Structure 1
Amino acid sequence: MRNIVAILRGVRPDEVEAIAGVLVDSGITRIEVPLNSPDPLDSVARLARGYGEVALIGAGTVLSPEDVQAVRDAGGRLIVSPDCNADVIRATKAAGMLSFPGVMTPTECFAALRAGADGLKFFPGSLVGPAGLKAIRAVLPPETEVLAVGGAGPDNLAEWIAAGANGFGIGSELYAPGMGPADVAARAVDLVARYDAAVA
């Protein structure tokens, strides 16, 4: 499985299934609907019903244990946050879901791992940078899964991988409000080709 999480910030429920379809067809099978999108739980539920067997569906910008439960009730299996909130991490794991909290510092990294996080979302990646990730990676448990988000894109995947990133959360480089499935498909195909080349 390619370790790319498509971040569909701003997507509407009436378009989310068509967009997810082209993502899955291109080989991107992790999809996140941020909770500050229009009717996000409706979108998560539609994706879980339509693609839950072939893709990991979840939500981003998850800020509270109540949000975690709402996403689980909608059929989501992945919780992504912009911050390191131990209550959210513990609620996610108690619900049997995958937890990827946002971190920037070693303190936040270890706090997240101690709370049970499945992996770490380095966010915003543009502030940490590959050099910062490489330095922090030196002290993390080697098996820690690290996603670079916000500042990682098609042009610098190889640089992030060399610094220790296992995968990526990709937002506006893949989808922005107003894009149709054809636009997303073209971007997804290009991203997958560059990802495959970077990990080869």
Structure 2
Amino acid sequence: MTDASPFCLPLVAILRGITPDESVAHVGELVAEGYDAIEIPLNSPDWREGIARAVQAHGDAAWIGGGTVLQPEQVDVLHGVGARFIVTPNTNPTLIRHAVDAGLQVVAGFATASEAFAALDAGAQMLKLFPAATYGPGHVRALRAVLPKGTPLYVVGGVTPESLSSWLASGADGAGIGGELYLPGQSPETTRAHARAFRLALADARA
């Protein structure tokens, strides 16, 4: 499937390790900064409650999703609390089909062309090269030569404000930003400051 990304800002904010008590404030700062795709990975404390609270508070303004999704049962929980997308760290066609059947957007993790096509064949609407820093922008450029035109491709893992432009120039549509955006325990204001640095880097890359 090669539909365009539904995210207006092509930066997925990843809040790995955030707690339910923190999620609403941090997501609120991201929304205020113009982010409309926010991922809470499932290896975060009490992720179900954290995602549910974020959806209740900000689900009308942003896509709230779960990351590091590995099991169909987790997809069902996410669907039940109102998450709109999932992100996987790997290519699992059975999981992808289950999530698509549930009506969720799937950002499927992959590394090779074979994995990318397996994910697309299973119905994934978007691809996530992970870990991107291991492969480099040249890998994205080579993949673009064989992937179906228009396939949304995001890069995740080691992306910084300084390197974002090179990824976009290589053919990536956007990026997922994790450790450079959020570390457990930091303030919501710090999260917003980091988010702004990426947003400004995106604007510079597009100029």
Contact preservation (8 Å) 1:64, 1:87: no
**Aligned residue among 87, 91, 96 for 2:98:** 91
1:28 equivalenced with 2:28 (yes/no): no
Counting only pairs closer than 5 Å after superposition, residues 1-200 of structure 1 correspond to structure 2 as 1-200=8-207
Secondary structure, in 3 states, of the residue corresponding to 2:38?
strand
Secondary structure, in 3 states, of the residue corresponding to 1:142?
coil
Give the gaps of 5 or more residues in structure 1. Answer: none
Give the gaps of 5 or more residues in structure 2. Answer: 1-7
Give 1:144 shift.
0.3
> What do residues 50-97 of structure 1 show as CA deviations (whole Å, max 9, x unaligned)?
111110000000001111111111110110000000111101111101
Give 1:182 shift.
1.2
The number of residues matched between the two structures is: 200
C-alpha separation in 2, matches of 1:151 and 1:134: 17
Give 1:113 shift.
0.3
Contact preservation (8 Å) 1:174, 1:184: yes
Secondary structure, in 3 states, of the residue corresponding to 2:39?
strand
TM-score (norm 1): 0.98
C-alpha separation in 1, matches of 2:167 and 2:196: 20
Paired letter, 1:146: L
C-alpha separation in 1, matches of 2:102 and 2:190: 35
Paired letter, 2:156: V
Secondary structure, in 3 states, of the residue corresponding to 2:26?
helix
Paired letter, 1:39: D
Which runs of at least 4 in structure 1 moved beyond 6 Å after TM superposition? none
C-alpha separation in 2, matches of 1:22 and 1:6: 11
Percent identity, please. 46
RMSD: 0.8
> What do residues 6-34 of structure 1 show as CA deviations (whole Å, max 9, x unaligned)?
11000000011000111111111110000
Give 1:199 shift.
2.1
C-alpha separation in 1, matches of 2:137 and 2:148: 18
